């Protein structure tokens, strides 16, 4: 096997993908074969064959009307899995510290198809999982984590969550919006009765270098009448989420505001 030949071919294919992720491709919604050949300095016929092969593998898509190529579903799937792996790895030491401080199980949650998915769960020595495990799916509407994850959505997008489903309509839209506003102002969500009346859910969003919410930290603690305990859980959860955000390249601005650890 000629490894140098394979390597050269791979570099040429990567050059095509780099062209498709350029600003020009983004603005135009894709690029034609001629323009990609121009940008990469290759023959049109070579580019056409290479793109046809990548299309078969899902690495690129082609618009049936304009015939323009753009990055395909498989690239986005690979990017998503890579980002999630880095997120989980970066978050692990901060989640472990929080779990040890609170003696609770701490969860890293992400949004998938408008559902909350537990990406990882870190248990303290005396902590309990509350019946939640990695891979479990939770309803956005009924969780503190859901409120944290959609905190940057506009009102119309959030309203679309309330279309259909009996369980959804048991929670007033305006009440949910008020909770989301609380996250925007305080940096965390507190929800009584999660996952049952005995508990309180506390969640804080995680941002990355693009300044967008990509995940959240969630803690489920005993429903106590001692407000100081809930306040402490909220502050420590916010601090944990902020530390993870900074490890991912997010630069928080403002003191005592959403995304800042100075609380």
pLDDT band at 99 (very low <50, low <70, confident <90, very high): very high
pLDDT digits (tens, 9 = 90+) for 6-33: 577 788 889 999 999 888 887 888 999 9
Q: Is the residue at 255 inside a domain?
A: no
Q: What is the pLDDT of residue 169?
A: 53
Domain edge (last residue) among 24, 39, 71: 71
Clarify whether residues 88 and 64 are in a common domain: no
The answer to whether the pTM exceeds 0.75 is no
Clarify whether residues 35 and 106 are in a common domain: no
Among the residue ranges 44-58, 104-118, 158-172, the one predicted with the least confidence is 158-172
Q: Is the residue at 236 inside a domain?
A: yes
| 132/46 Cα distance (integer angstroms) | 52
pLDDT digits (tens, 9 = 90+) for 132-159: 788 888 889 989 999 999 999 999 999 8
Nearest to 93 by CA among 238, 244, 237, 204: 244
pLDDT digits (tens, 9 = 90+) for 185-210: 999 999 988 767 778 999 999 998 88
Nearest to 205 by CA among 162, 160, 248: 248
Mean pLDDT of 104-124: 88
Q: What is the pLDDT of residue 207?
A: 95
Q: Which residue has the tokens 């491709």?
A: 25
Domain CATH number, residue 183? 3.30.450.40
Q: Is the residue at 260 inside a domain?
A: no
Q: What is the pLDDT of residue 114?
A: 78
220-225: long-range contacts, CB 8 A cutoff, minimum separation 24: 220/104, 220/105, 220/107, 220/130, 220/132, 220/194, 220/195, 221/102, 221/104, 222/198, 223/192, 223/193, 223/197, 223/198, 223/199, 224/200
For the beta carbon of residue 173, count every other beta carbon within 10 angstroms: 15
Q: What is the pLDDT of residue 246?
A: 94
Q: What is the pLDDT of residue 94?
A: 96
pLDDT digits (tens, 9 = 90+) for 49-80: 999 999 998 889 999 889 999 988 777 667 66
Domain that holds residue 216: 80-247
Clarify whether residues 151 and 241 are in a common domain: yes
Clarify whether residues 63 and 156 are in a common domain: no
Clarify whether residues 41 and 110 are in a common domain: no
Domain edge (last residue) among 48, 71, 94: 71
């Amino acid at each position: 096997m000629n490894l140098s030949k394979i390597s050269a071919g791979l570099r040429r294919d990567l050059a095509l993908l780099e062209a498709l992720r350029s600003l020009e491709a983004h603005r135009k919604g894709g690029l034609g074969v001629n323009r990609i050949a121009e940008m990469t300095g290759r023959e049109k016929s070579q580019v056409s064959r290479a793109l046809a092969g990548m299309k078969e593998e899902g690495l690129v898509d082609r618009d049936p009307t304009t015939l323009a190529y753009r990055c395909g579903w498989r690239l986005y799937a690979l990017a998503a899995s890579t980002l999630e792996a880095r997120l989980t790895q970066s978050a692990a030491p901060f989640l472990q510290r929080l779990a040890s401080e609170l003696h609770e199980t701490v969860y890293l949650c992400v949004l998938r198809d408008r559902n909350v998915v537990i990406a990882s769960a870190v248990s303290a020595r005396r902590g309990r999982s509350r019946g939640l495990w990695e891979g479990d799916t939770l309803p956005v509407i009924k969780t503190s984590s859901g409120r944290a994850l959609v905190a940057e959505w506009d009102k119309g997008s959030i309203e679309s969550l309330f279309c259909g489903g009996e369980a959804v309509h048991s929670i007033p839209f305006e009440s949910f919006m008020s909770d989301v506003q609380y996250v925007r102002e305080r940096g965390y969500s507190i929800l009584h009765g999660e996952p049952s009346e005995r508990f309180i859910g506390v969640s804080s969003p995680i941002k990355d270098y693009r300044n967008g919410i990509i995940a959240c930290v969630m803690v489920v603690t005993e429903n106590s009448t001692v407000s100081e305990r809930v306040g402490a859980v909220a502050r420590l959860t916010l601090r944990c989420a902020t530390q993870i955000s900074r490890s991912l390249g997010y630069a928080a601005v403002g003191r005592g505001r959403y995304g800042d650890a100075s609380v």
